[in-house]
Copies of this chain bind each other. A is one copy, B any other.
Amino acid sequence: MVSALERDVRERFRRSGYTLTSQRRAVLEALKDFKGHPSAEEVYLVVKKRNPRVALGTVYQALSVLEEIGLIEAKHWSESPVRYDLNTEPHHDIRCIRCGEVTEIRGVEFEDFAARIRENTPYEVTNASLVIEGVCPNCQSQN
């Protein structure tokens, strides 16, 4: 059976005009398998295991295409490298500023809030996301 995600992937590539290449698919697979929010470098390492010929530059390019067509989301936390995740259910993540662990936050509804933003600006909003950082329970106890 072809999954809904699979159909969505093909559909988005078709509409965008970009080609669904094996490298781009591999990046998507790597993101699917990766627990947490890998950086481009981390995605690259996973992808390279299966196909050692892929270049880091290609992974960057693939991530940028996948983000552009809405299949993945880029997270800009305050430490440097951009991290990515599959754009499935809307959800929010918090990242520990000590150890870097990323955890999902449940029970917080963002959509009404995003709607309010759209009502209150003449901009055409393309991205409204949360950056949440803190200290995880584990690191708190190590004080």
Does A16 reach chain B (CB closer than 8 Å)?
A: no
Count the copies.
2
List residues 100-122 of chain A with CB under 8 A from any CB of chain B: 103, 105-108, 110, 113, 116-117, 119-122
Does A56 reach chain B (CB closer than 8 Å)?
A: no
Does A20 reach chain B (CB closer than 8 Å)?
A: no
For A134, give its contact among B92, B94, B125 (CB under 8 Å). Answer: B125
Point out the residues of chain B lying under 8 angstroms from A103, CB to CB.
121, 123
Which positions in A face B, CB cutoff 8 Å? 74, 76-78, 82, 92, 94, 96-97, 103, 105-108, 110, 113, 116-117, 119-137, 140
Q: List 9 A-B contacts (CB under 8 A).
A: A78-B127, A96-B123, A107-B120, A108-B116, A123-B136, A127-B131, A128-B130, A128-B132, A131-B131
